[in-house]
Amino acid sequence: MKKIVVTGAFFFIGMVLMQAQNDIRFGFQASPTFAWMNTTSSRINPSGTNLGIKLGMVGEYYFRENYAFTSGLGFAFNQGGTLQHEFGGLYWRKSDLGPGLDTLPAGVKLKYGIQYIEIPAGMKMRTREFGYLRYFVEPALTLGFRSQARGTAQGRGIGSDLEKINIRKEVNAFNLAWGLGAGVEYTISESTSLVGGLGFQVGFTDVTDDNGTTFDPVRGNRRENSKGKNNAIVLRLGVMF
């Protein structure tokens, strides 16, 4: 993980040094997010969103005047969401829950709070300048590397022992998502612009580790192997130089 951060830092230092070239821009973002999870199982339902934030560096390489390849390096905090399990079972078995605490009741709500190191890759298409404004759209893929994960279990008979648990081993190490963003750039000087916009991200890969057991009253005990995906709406706020 440290190698990823160091490599990304050197990449952006190089971008800053090359800023004199008109086809290179760099900047920073501090973008609030509203994240939630869904699954492929009809017995596990979304039951809450997480308010998070994305912080990081952004780079743009313009191969034509209004078309650019984009990338960056950032941290996404408090991603995930809450999933409600219709059936009880043995869940979060790799976490340090203590004896018997991984046996959870029907209707339990499992809340995931995940932190990722993210590397996006996309293409930005913007309009010509109207006064001080340019409008843009930006489809992108984002690769996330899980760095931390905390969880909370809520339900009948569950006490405070199941709050803010380390569930890092319950969350897969990588997350891949596609997204589409749109917004506006406001020019405040010859080389500096403020950026605002809205984006939508949908996960491709399974966030959950699938090591639990579901107590199905009809089919009996079985492995919980649903695919849980992380999604987010991103309120993009940043500055480009």
- Whether residue 5 is predicted with pLDDT greater than 80 in this model: the reply is no
pLDDT range class, residue 161, cuts 50, 70, 90: low
Per-residue pLDDT at 239: 98
Report, as an integer, the average pLDDT of 91-106.
Answer: 79
177: pLDDT strictly greater than 90: yes
Write the DSSP symbol of residue 54. Answer: E
Q: What is the arithmetic mean of pLDDT over 160-181?
A: 90
CA nearest to 241, candidates 7, 6, 15: 15
Tell whether the model's pLDDT for residue 98 goes beyond 80: no
Alpha-carbon separation of residue 199 from 5, 32, 193, 236 (angstroms): 24, 11, 19, 7
- Res. 191 pLDDT band, cuts 50 70 90: confident
Q: Outline where the chain has alpha helix (H).
A: 2-17
Give which of 97, 85, 117, 125 is closest to 213, Cα–Cα: 85
Q: Side chain identity at 51, as an amino acid letter?
A: L
pLDDT in tens, 107-137: 999 999 999 999 999 999 999 999 999 999 9
> What global pTM score does this model have?
0.89
pLDDT in tens, 10-29: 555 555 544 445 689 999 99
Q: Order of strands, edge to edge, in the sheet holding 89-90?
A: 103-104, 89-90, 212-216, 220-224
pLDDT at site 77: 98
pLDDT, residue 17, reads: 47
122 with 137: CB under 8 angstroms? Answer: no
From its phi and psi, is residue 205 left (phi > 0), alpha (psi between -120 and 50) or beta?
beta
Mean pLDDT lowest for which of 13-27, 34-48, 190-204? 13-27
232 CB-near residues (< 8 Å, 6+ apart): 33, 34, 35, 36, 52, 79, 177, 200, 201
Scan for tokens 């340090």, then name that residue. 96
Structure confidence at residue 7 (pLDDT): 53
C-alpha–C-alpha distance, residues 235 and 199, integer Å: 6
In the predicted model, what is the mean pLDDT of the chain? 90
**Is the pLDDT score of 99 beyond 90?**
no
Overall average pLDDT of the 33-37 stretch: 98
State yes or no: pLDDT of 159 exceeds 90: no
Residue bearing tokens 């390096």: 73
Which among 40, 232, 225, 75 is positioned nearest to 146, based on CA atoms?
A: 75
